[in-house]
Amino acid sequence: MRVRRCDGLKGEVRVSGAKNAALPLLAASLLVERFELENFPVLLDTLYALRILELLGREVELLPGRVSVKGGISSVRIPYEISSLFRGSLLFLGGLLGAVGRAEVAHPGGCAIGSRPIDQHLKFLSHIGAEVELEGGFVKVKLPPEPKARAFTFDLITVTGTENALLTLAGLRGEFELHNAALEPEVLDLVEFLKKLGLEVEVKGRSFLVRSPGRENLKREVSHRTIPDRIEAGTFLVAGALLGEPLTVKGLEVSHLGAVLEKLREAGAEPEVLSPSEVRIRRVERPRALEVQTAPYPGFPTDMQAQFMAMLTLADGVSLIVENIFENRFQHALELARLGASVEVRGKTAIVRGVERLKGAPVNATDLRASAALVLAGLVAEGETVVGKIGHLLRGYEDLDGKLRRLGCDAELF
Ligand code: EPU
């Protein structure tokens, strides 16, 4: 994407449905005969997920703003050609297990932001008595008719691990306790969907008590609306803190953005909450330096770390960013340095020394959120910035260039 320095972002922007909510919901669609999802974000990752549903035998219809899925499941195998394209493919393991009790999913492999093992997903399955085999790059799983155990505690907090467990449990009749679960809004949105199917789920702290009527007794037809993308919203709020004249971000969910709004305030921005779904933000003369530590929700999201780093490259003072979730999620630091930023990475800490200005240059996106950070930096850097390997961005941001153009900036995909 080519981005030129922008004088100001003026007007309103509406955020799309959340990618990381739509993906588990599409996997959950395997549990019902007919499924409709509104506020559906059209992105590479969600389109890949629709392709998986088709490969499994489902009929998919993509309409403006929504998707409908129906028909039977004729295969339980997800080939490497598609699973390797996106990590979210792993959610179809849980979806298939919940729906039919069997799945063969090609291991999605590592990813640019860390080794990303799936041991917790498999540990849960073995714990409930599933046969788990790793063969020829595939994870092959067969569920027992009844779970062997009725409680499981995750060793660490995992978002898709929790979602996979919930999807699997939807198919198994009876009560089950999940402890040390992830509480990200996207996980809780899946819980809301599963409740519509007939599950009872109580959330107490980081524990879920799940009661399922069993796969034969689930509701057959369900529709749902995807929650707003809190990371896209956060990305625009950072853009607003850099360039808002003012910028109003609409269609978000303020209650999902607590840690992000808090850090923006600490940086000197004054986000005004106009309603539970609208925030107005103006540019800050010079952001104040911050200390940011990523943590599972409700902590500061790792998916906003790169965008905050882009903002802090121009801060007044020295910022410290600690990445606690992924071990290799600072690759954007080197790319930001190409624009004149001063970032030193020491293990899981990045030390960002604020500079007066950035200068446009060719850079490469290293992962999805890194690509958004480079676009943000490109908007404030002198001259022109060309962000290469933009395929990463297309996996998770719907029409980012179009949205930026409508706010008065010069951003162009080519
Ligand atoms: N982990 C393990 N073993 C496991 C599972 C996870 O060691 O079996 C580790 C991971 O390596 C990581 C930590 O646990 O260090 C947390 O990973 P988690 O499983 O929560 O991440 P994920 O479920 O693979 C989702 C999002 C990511 C987001 C993370 C953290 C989806 C499809 N992906 O990934 O989103 O960064 O949670 O919030 O929901 C993105 O959208 O750009 C993105 C990377």
State the pLDDT at residue 96. Answer: 98
Q: What does the block give as tokens for 48?
A: 């890949």
Full-model pTM: 0.97
Say how many Å lie between the first and final Cα of the chain, rounded.
6
State the pLDDT at residue 109. Answer: 60
CA 86 to ligand 1: nearest atom: 32
The pLDDT tens digits of the residues spanning 268-303 come to 999 999 999 999 999 999 999 999 999 999 999 999
111 pLDDT band, cuts 50/70/90, is: low
State the pLDDT at residue 114. Answer: 67
Residue 111 among the catalytic residues:
yes
Name the strands in the sheet holding 66-70, side by side, starting at the edge strand that comes first in the sequence: 59-63, 66-70, 34-38, 221-225
Secondary structure of residue 209 in the 3-state scheme: strand
384 or 107, which is more confident?
384
Domains of the chain listed by start with CATH number? 19-215 (3.65.10.10), 228-412 (3.65.10.10)
The pLDDT tens digits of the residues spanning 36-52 come to 999 999 999 999 999 99
Ligand 1 centroid from CA 170, angstroms: 22
Phi and psi at residue 66, to the nearest 5°: -150, 165
Ligand 1 centroid from CA 150, angstroms: 25
Residue bearing the CA closest to ligand 1, atom 29: 159
Dihedral, CA of residue 348, residue 293, residue 226 and residue 104, to nearest 10: 30
Give percent of the chain with pLDDT exceeding 90. 95
108 pLDDT band, cuts 50/70/90, is: confident
Annotated catalytic residue within 42, 55, 100, 111 = 111
* Ligand 1-lining residues (CB < 6 angstroms): 20, 23, 87-88, 114, 116-121, 156, 158-161, 302-303, 325-326, 368-369, 396
Question: Half-sphere exposure (CA, 13 Å, Cβ side) for 345?
Answer: 17
CA angle, 340 then 392 then 23, to 5° = 140
Q: How far is CA 183 from the centre of its chain?
A: 13
Ligand 1 centroid from CA 158, angstroms: 6
Q: How far from 97 is each of 33, 123, 170, 361, CA to CA, in Å? A: 15, 15, 9, 48
Cα(365)–Cα(177) distance, rounded to whole angstroms? 40
Give percent of the chain with pLDDT exceeding 70. 99
Phi and psi at residue 239, to the nearest 5°: -60, -40
